[in-house]
Amino acid sequence: MNLVIEAQPVPLEIKEGVVRVAGSRVTLDTVIGAFNDGATAEEIALKYPTLALADIYAVIAYYLREKPAVDAYLEAYQRQREETQREVEARFNPVGIRERLLARRNKSE
């Protein structure tokens, strides 16, 4: 019996500028955020059943090997998300949205 040891590619892909676990919609920041909050790979798999446990371990291993680069990406991604949220809120004021929607619904009835 021969054991074949070979490097496996990291199961990450970039779609629309966002790093996701390959074959899923789960983002890198979701997996690493859960891991940094103390979740085990098994707990992450329970919360995100579309992810294979082996892929979660591979993503965590990649993060631990490339922590400075991944942390820099995660910080930039967070800044981008915050900027996008500010832009959306500036264009579409969220204050009173429920009341405006209810009023519009009642008006159409």
Instruction: Report the domain count for the chain.
Output: 1
Residue 7 lies in a domain: no
Instruction: Look at the pTM and tell me if it is higher than 0.85.
Output: no
DSSP state of 8: P
How far apart, in whole angstroms, are the C-alpha atoms of residue 82 and residue 75?
A: 11
**Which sign, positive or negative, has the C-alpha torsion 47, 94, 92, 105?**
positive
The enclosing domain of 28 has a CATH number of 1.10.10.10
| pLDDT tens, position by position, 1-11 | 889 899 899 99
Residue 1 lies in a domain: no
How far apart, in whole angstroms, are the C-alpha atoms of residue 25 and residue 18?
A: 10
Residue 3 lies in a domain: no
100 vs 9 pLDDT, higher one: 9
Residue 6 lies in a domain: no
pLDDT of residue 26: 98
| pLDDT tens, position by position, 61-79 | 999 999 999 999 999 999 9
Residue 5 lies in a domain: no
